[in-house]
Amino acid sequence: MNIALIAHDKKKQDMINFTVAYRPVLKEHSLYATGTTGLKIEEATGLSVFRFQSGPLGGDQQIGAMIADNKMDLIIFFKDPLTAQPHEPDIAALIRLCDVYQIPLASNMASAELFIHALERGDFQWRHVVRSKGEDLK
């Protein structure tokens, strides 16, 4: 599975704690992240993470492009609901793409933990079918 990990500045420590706790599950998957978040995850866990630009510099849009190309299976995005973000339109576009393309999106620790346990159980195997059908259409 291709998993994107994104965290606003005030949520980066939560993302680090999450990835440390669930390293055994995450190491079995391809991980993608926006710039600083990806670096911090790599440093804390030793996991290999493909890093895009930071969110405000286009990283959210790069992940959105993967969603539109049917190459992303799960988004874990720890958003900071109490701080205004200068790239709010990009965030809204990313969330919209998840809705359009039926990509599961966890926006907080509670939903992320539910998704990670579902991933561990194999509940996301349907994404392999969806992704392969998308390849057939190209």
Q: Which residues are catalytic?
A: 60
For 7-32, b where at least 16 C-beta lie within 10 A, e where not — what string?
bbeebbebbbebbeebeeebeeeebb
How far is the C-alpha of 91 from the C-alpha of 85, rounded, in Å? 9
How far is the C-alpha of 1 from the C-alpha of 131, rounded, in Å? 10
Helix residue ranges, H only, 6-82:
12-21, 23-26, 35-45, 59-68
How far is the C-alpha of 27 from the C-alpha of 36, rounded, in Å? 19
How far is the C-alpha of 44 from the C-alpha of 30, rounded, in Å? 17
